Amino acid sequence: MVEQAVDGIRIEGLRKRYGSGDTAVDALRHVDMQVAPGEVVGLIGPSGSGKSTLLKCLGAVIEPSGGRMTLGGQAIYADGWRIPDLRSLRRDRIGFVFQAPYLIPFLDVTDNVALLPMLAGLPNGEARRRARELLEALDVAHRASAMPAQLSGGEQQRVSIARALVNRPPVILADEPTAPLDSERALAVIRILNQMARQFDTAIIVVTHDEKIIPTFRRIYHIRDGRTEEEAGEGRGFE
């Protein structure tokens, strides 16, 4: 079925204009993009080309100026929001990974991850059990009761990936997730994202400048001047 094929992320003709009049900036002019469940695609482009703007639109934190966005088969934006509660959308269906891990400093590792299911109304015990499962999968279970400040940069990033995954969102948006890491750790993070994409059928977009990880994507979207072009990547290393 056609609907099956558009599971994951589908963006058509997305536009975003900041401001109005003389000072208006057309950050996105025409973006087309499609990411299947279980797929990790790269999004690259020069500075100011609109990468972060695209993630913010998709993450429902800013409103596009036109076009269509579909998540998991459901239109969330079609020349206007199609979903009334954007916070629940972000909480339940989108996972975020940032350049810096931005863990909550006053919660331990487990609760940083368990916070999302708790916010969604899951009992604490159940939320923590889910968190520990993921920490196990991401190989940071031994640091489960540490505070974020006591972790290395790579460990923090893995915890933030666990947080992004914990509500089993169909979509993960990662903005420069490997920037602070050395190449070995950067590759490890990409390997984990690939594993998780396959394991949970998640569609993942990774914005990056990072030369070390660009060869790992099988598909890459280039964004220039607010327009996207798709190209095949080398797709090395994670078969």
Beta strands (DSSP E) in the chain are: 9-18, 25-35, 40-44, 66-71, 74-78, 94-97, 171-175, 203-207, 219-224, 227-232
Does 81 interact with another protein (rule: CB under 8 A)? Answer: no
Q: For residues 51 and 90, what is the distance between their CA atoms, to the nearest angstrom?
A: 19
Stretch that binds Mg ion, among 32-40, 50-58, 116-124, 166-174 (CB under 5 A): 50-58
Select from 1, 21, 80, 87 the one that contacts another protein (CB under 8 A).
87
Instruction: Locate 113 and state its tokens.
Output: 């991850």
For residue 162, the SS3 value is: helix
What is the closest distance, in whole angstroms, from the C-beta atom of residue 18 to ligand ATP in the complex?
A: 3
Does 53 interact with ligand ATP (rule: CB under 6 A)? Answer: yes
Q: For residues 116 and 100, what is the distance between their CA atoms, to the nearest angstrom?
A: 18
- Of the pair 32, 108, the CB lying nearest ligand ATP is at 32
What is the closest distance, in whole angstroms, from the C-beta atom of residue 221 to ligand ATP in the complex?
A: 12
Sign of CA dihedral 173, 204, 30, 86: negative
Backbone angles phi, psi at 77, to 5 degrees: -140, 130
Q: For residues 217 and 41, what is the distance between their CA atoms, to the nearest angstrom?
A: 6
What residues numbered 5-44 form the site for ligand ATP, per CB under 6 A?
18-19, 25, 27
Residue 117 interacts with which of Mg ion, another protein, ligand ATP, none, CB < 5 to 8 Å by class = none
What residues numbered 152-171 form the site for another protein, per CB under 8 A?
163
Q: How many CB atoms are closer than 10 A to CB 231?
A: 11
Instruction: Locate 6 and state its tokens.
Output: 């558009």
# binding residues, Mg ion (CB under 5 A): 1
Stretch that binds another protein, among 3-11, 30-38, 93-101, 220-228 (CB under 8 A): 93-101
The binding site for Mg ion (CB under 5 A) comprises 52
The binding site for another protein (CB under 8 A) comprises 52, 55-56, 59, 61-62, 87-92, 96, 98-99, 102, 104-107, 111, 115-116, 118-120, 124, 147, 163, 175
The binding site for ligand ATP (CB under 6 A) comprises 18-19, 25, 27, 45, 47-53
